[in-house]
């Protein structure tokens, strides 16, 4: 019997929600890492019981957690599970994210643009997104703030920056979005292990075709009226990018404003906002079996980070964009003022595709019928930062 | 035996309850105590001081004997009563108006 495991990161801990394939009754486990901000939890496609979690705190900094049993138990990679290790030189470096400045592979640390337009040094703050390899449970990528991408090939024990991204030349033009200068999206190409995409707020989208050595900005067609040159090569506040694994050349983007689409792996973009009530938002995702069916949650504006008119509505396009329908059955349609953050939507791959999202109000909603109807799995978690789904069995 | 009191979140990471007791060789300073603490509990590396610069994280404070030692030099000797184990070294998560997770023992 198939099973679904939903991995939820919140402002005050992680939760693991499980159900059978009917997705009617749910078991809620957590909080794990209570009191800590859990920006992201994600499972390995190569070993579904291998999970990685980004745990962080303004006081204590970054911690990486790993589970080998689907989230029942956790430990920091490089430290033995259970008891503390015997005395000796400390080895734990799973939270050591150091920008590469080496002569051999690193570029000199540049500066980036700060909120006030001055140049500012790169400073590591936290891991926003963890993307496990499609084929190796011990290989995982981390998107961090200040924006950079790191890779671990030993299960998160040690991390190395893929410095070609930060060093390719436009770094001084990158600037923080309202949430910080974060690398929040990492997409691996299932048909080409050398290719991946990342997105940074606020710099834009980038692609590598050589396994992360070199990167190029892929922002042609993006237009952002809030920057001095609306058509600039970099500086766009991309909020999230999604791809269907069967069509790696087709990308869907929720930009700060505008919903966009690329049919050439990001080389050019076209707007597909169509009849959306507002094209500001954070999440975007693709149906598991219908590559032209996409989902967004429109948010009123960048100054009012909540849904329009007090109504929580997911919008679905079955035409790859432009034509959108509001999905509201089971969702609150009055007095609702929540936000849905960029990593807080995911889909399962059961025959009838399930769609999940979490809100700033602590609700996690699920639809077992591709969005036609919704029900809350839980209503009162801490504010939800991320939602991922694993389809098991 | 040096006694260190960790904030609750770091106790959870280190999987300890109550005070941590450490044997510190040589002079008892912030640096030597933290070196030994991180050797015993590697999972705390990077959570109290930066991995590379070894600077105290900005929102953490060090207290002992009712004094704020946060801005003492890392190699300055800690008070004798800390070195003797009579008084603990407190590592504290600071927040405006209070001390995170603590009811101070005095």
CATH number at residue B22: 3.10.20.30
Residue of chain A with shortest Cα separation from B48: A60
Asked if A228 reaches chain B (Cβ–Cβ under 8 Å), the answer is: no
Domain spans, chain A? 36-81+93-236
DSSP SS3 for B43: helix
| Res. A11: pLDDT tops 50 | yes
Give per-residue pLDDT as tens, A201-226.
Answer: 999 999 999 999 999 999 999 999 88
Tell me the three state secondary structure of residue B67. Answer: strand
Spatial distance between the Cα atoms of B90 and A366, rounded to a whole number of angstroms: 45
End-to-end CA separation in angstroms for chain B: 21
- The three-state secondary structure class of B63 is strand
Q: Do A96 and B46 touch (CB under 8 A)?
A: yes
| Count of beta carbons in the 10 Å neighbourhood of residue A265 | 18
**Domain for residue B106, yes or no?**
no
Q: Cα–Cα distance between B20 and B48 in angstroms, integer?
A: 15
Q: Is residue B12 part of a domain?
A: yes
Query: What pLDDT band is residue A178 in, cutting at 50, 70 and 90?
Result: confident
Domain residues for B82? 2-100
Q: What is the pTM of this model?
A: 0.94
Which CATH architecture describes the domain A36-81+93-236?
A: 7 Propeller (2.130)
Q: Looking at the 3D structure of chain B, how many domains does it have?
A: 1
User: Is B82 among the domain residues?
Assistant: yes
Does B55 reside within a domain? yes
Does any domain span residue B73? yes
Q: How far apart are CA A275 and CA A5, in angstroms?
A: 34
| Residue in B with minimal Cα distance to A99 | B52
Task: Give pLDDT tens digits for A112-147.
Answer: 999 888 999 999 999 999 999 999 999 999 999 999
In Å, how far is A102's CA from the nearest CA of chain B?
Answer: 14
Of B10, B15, B93, the CB nearest to A83: B15
Name the E strands within A139-279: 140-145, 148-152, 160-161, 182-188, 196-201, 204-208, 216-217, 238-243, 251-255, 259-262, 270-271
Span A169-193, mean pLDDT? 94
Q: Which two tokens stand for residue A196?
A: 């991946």
Q: Kindly report which listed range (A107-121, A149-163, A329-343) carries the lowest average pLDDT score.
A: A107-121
Average pLDDT, chain B: 89
Q: What ipTM does the predicted assembly reach?
A: 0.87
C-alpha to C-alpha distance for A64 and A42, rounded to whole angstroms: 12
Distance CA B18, CA B37 (A): 14
The CA dihedral of A104, A106, A108, A109, to the nearest 10 degrees, is -160
């Amino acid at each position: 019997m198939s099973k679904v495991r939903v991995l939820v990161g919140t402002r005050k801990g992680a939760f693991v929600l499980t159900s059978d394939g009917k997705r009617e009754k749910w078991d809620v486990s957590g909080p794990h890492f209570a009191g800590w901000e859990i920006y992201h939890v994600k499972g390995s496609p190569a070993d579904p019981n291998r999970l990685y979690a980004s745990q962080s705190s303004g006081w204590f900094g970054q911690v990486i957690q790993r589970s080998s049993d689907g989230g029942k138990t956790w430990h920091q990679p490089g430290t033995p599970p259970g008891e503390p290790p015997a005395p000796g030189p400390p080895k734990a470096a799973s939270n050591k994210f150091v920008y590469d400045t080496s002569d051999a592979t690193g570029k000199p640390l540049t500066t980036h643009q700060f909120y006030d337009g001055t140049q500012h040094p790169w400073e590591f703050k936290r891991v926003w997104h963890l993307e496990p390899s499609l084929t190796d449970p011990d290989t995982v990528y981390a998107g961090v703030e200040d924006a950079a991408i790191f890779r671990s090939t030993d299960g998160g024990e040690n991390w190395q920056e893929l410095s070609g991204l930060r060093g390719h030349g436009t770094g001084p033009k990158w600037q923080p979005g309202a949430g910080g200068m974060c690398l929040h999206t990492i997409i691996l190409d299932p048909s080409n292990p050398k290719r991946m995409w990342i997105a940074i707020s606020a710099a834009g989208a980038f692609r590598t075709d050589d396994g992360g050595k070199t990167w190029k900005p892929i922002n042609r067609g993006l237009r952002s009226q809030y920057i001095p040159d609306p058509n600039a090569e970099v500086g766009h506040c991309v909020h999230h990018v999604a791809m269907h694994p069967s069509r790696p050349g087709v990308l869907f983007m929720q930009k700060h404003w505008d919903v966009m689409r690329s049919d050439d792996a990001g080389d050019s973009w076209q707007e597909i906002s169509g009849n959306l009530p507002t094209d500001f938002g954070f999440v975007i995702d693709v149906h598991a079996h219908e590559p032209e069916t996409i989902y967004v949650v429109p948010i009123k504006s960048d100054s009012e980070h909540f849904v329009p008119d007090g109504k929580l509505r997911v919008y679905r396009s079955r035409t790859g964009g432009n034509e959108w329908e509001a999905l509201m059955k089971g969702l609150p349609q009055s007095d609702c003022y929540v936000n849905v953050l960029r990593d807080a939507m995911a889909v399962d791959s059961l025959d009838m595709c399930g769609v999940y999202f979490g809100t700033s109000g602590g609700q996690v909603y699920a639809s077992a019928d591709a969005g036609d109807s919704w029900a809350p799995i839980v209503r009162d978690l801490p504010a939800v930062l991320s939602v991922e789904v694993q389809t098991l069995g | 035996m040096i006694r260190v009191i960790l904030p609750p979140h770091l106790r959870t990471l280190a999987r300890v309850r109550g005070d941590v007791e450490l044997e510190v060789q040589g002079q008892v300073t912030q640096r030597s105590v933290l070196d030994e603490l991180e050797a015993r509990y590697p999972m705390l590396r990077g959570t109290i001081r930066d991995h590379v610069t070894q600077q105290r994280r900005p929102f953490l404070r060090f207290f002992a004997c009712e004094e704020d030692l946060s801005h003492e030099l890392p190699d300055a000797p800690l008070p004798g009563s800390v070195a003797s184990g009579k008084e603990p070294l407190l590592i504290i998560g600071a927040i405006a108006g209070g001390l995170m997770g603590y009811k101070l023992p005095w």
